A = this chain, B = another copy of it.
Amino acid sequence: MKTTIMDMPLSIQMIFEHGRRLHANARVASFDGQAFQISRFADVAARAQALAAGLMAMGVSRGDRVGTYCWNRQEHLEAYLAVPCMGSVLHTLNIRLLPEQVARIMVHAGDTVLIVDRALIAQLAPVLNQVPTLEHVVIVGGVPDNLPALQAAVVGYDDLLASSSDRRDWPQHEERDAAVVCYTTGTTGDPKGIVYSHRSVFLHTLGTLGRDTFGIGQDDRILLLPSMFHANAWGLPYSAWFSGADLLLPREHLKAADLRRMVDLERPTITALVPTLMNDLLREDESEPLDLSCFRVIVSGGSAVSPGLIRRVRDRWGVSMLQGWGMTETSPMCCLSIPPREAAGDEQFEWRAKSGRPVPGMQVRLVDDEGSPVPEDGLHVGELQLRGPWVTGSYHGDASPESFTRDGWLRTGDVGTIDERGYVQITDRSKDVIKSGGEWVSSVDLENQLSEHPAVDEVAVIGIPDPRWEERPLALVVPRPGNTIDPAELQDFLDGRVARFWIPEYWSVTFALPKTSVNKIDKRALRAEFGEGRIHFSVCKPTKSV
């Protein structure tokens, strides 16, 4: 017996046509620092069609890579729609990497076109001639006068849109055709390319509309703080387009004062951010009250969020926070910390601080070093491995067999537990793991606990060599303004909250911690600095011994 269901390729074209036709009045709002410039989906769709026509007239064809090097702005969204729909591959470049890194990644991906913000071209222009495949540079905002000589032809974005009036139907394609390529930020190694397919983007987008996932609907106004060059900005641009939610784009205006103004103007209902930014907003609120009560949910990701932070946000604004564990490799939605329905009252804060449970479609398992299953009891620690229809199974132009298991699961490099209900708790990046006297010490747990202390603004814990225990945790702490850090007091604070032997005796008080291009604390840099002897620390033995 054969299925009678029609064979219809899943496609970003379906997302595009749905938003264009059914949500013509939904809005894309780009922030200019003072006000939002507002376009209707109908207008954005027409411009995306014009962009596709212009690119096709330029000779861009199926499978060609079109790079973007832009802030979160309307033209970037137009490229998100036009490039995959015309059968080419959107390549979102990370504007926070060094220009040389960007050029290397462009060479690796073989980009033939680059769409770039006028304000960003100056920093990238000097390296563009290193990209031999590059034929066209399209500048959003128009070509500046002082542009250095480029081998590629240069055109203004709006001129390109105006250049071709030839609107064609989207070409047919296979659902496994490449749609978007995104390189990891390389926190733990060289950037690696993940090539999303039309199928995987469609499935991920459908998944993000689920009521128990991001739950994006037509009543939402999404403040798009995640960068569109990083894992498709959590997939939210496509979620907005498929559901008819308003999309609020901050462009380069990401200071606390900008956020305040955007929130006041448009009262967004959902955003996603790193915990550091949530801390910044709480601090901003202390100096001048900030009204975030418009949010139905704030999703936090990139690094662990503490129950204390979640509680403060709830107490202050009545807003729920949700932790998301995901990565470029997972499109990125993977696990979300929606509490189980039986969680009552304050219990929710503990659940919301977990790494979360897999969303429908995702599968997670826990294995030991030999690849055997580890009990999923919330206690036993193992490596977390993932599988799902929007998870990468390889890297572009890189066999990387060590990143994948023989039976086809992604090795995340994250270490943690899975409990009876299927909730994941990351205890460490496998590269960040601290092994003290043969036992694991969780740097994430230590960081979470320390960040609950009122004097602590930011904290990072790394492992350092120790003559007796092989490795011991070193806590690097940034005090909150007007506070001083007393290691002995913090040790007392930790007592009873973590295992005794976890309590660090090595402490470093500092004014700032290094960050990666996506605003995560850069532990690789910390370890490197430590290795070069550039971190000063004190030794403070806990009063109660292990």
Contact = CB atoms under 8 A, between A and B. Distances in A.
A221 to B, nearest CB: 10
Contacts of A360: 15, 18, 206, 209, 242-243
A413 to B, nearest CB: 17
Number of copies: 2
A10 interface: yes
Contacts of A207: 206
Interface in A2-26: 2-8, 10, 14-15, 17-18, 21-22, 24-25
A392 B5 contact: yes
A161 B395 CA distance: 45
Contact of A5 (B215, B244, B393, B422): B393
A177 B216 contact: no
Interface residues of A, number: 74
A212 interface: yes
Contacts of A217: 210-212
A10 B200 CA distance: 11
Interface in A149-178: 176-178
Given A341-B219, A357-B22, A243 B212 contact: yes
B391 A5 contact: yes
Contacts of A387: 6, 8
A196 interface: yes
B89 A340 contact: no
A354 interface: no
B206 A8 contact: no
B218 A4 contact: no
Interface string A373-399: 000000000000001111111111000
A197 interface: yes
Contacts of A215: 211
Contact of A3 (B24, B196, B420): B196
Interface of A: 1-8, 10, 14-15, 17-18, 21-22, 24-25, 63, 65, 89, 109-110, 176-179, 181, 193-197, 199-200, 203, 206-207, 209-213, 215-219, 242-244, 338, 340-342, 357-358, 360-361, 363, 387-396, 408, 410, 420-422
Given A1-B195, A21-B422, A211-B217, 13 more contacts: A1-B63, A3-B176, A3-B197, A4-B193, A4-B392, A5-B195, A5-B393, A6-B391, A8-B391, A25-B342, A210-B210, A212-B218, A212-B243
Closest 6 CB pairs of A and B: A6-B393, A3-B197, A211-B217, A209-B210, A22-B422, A5-B200
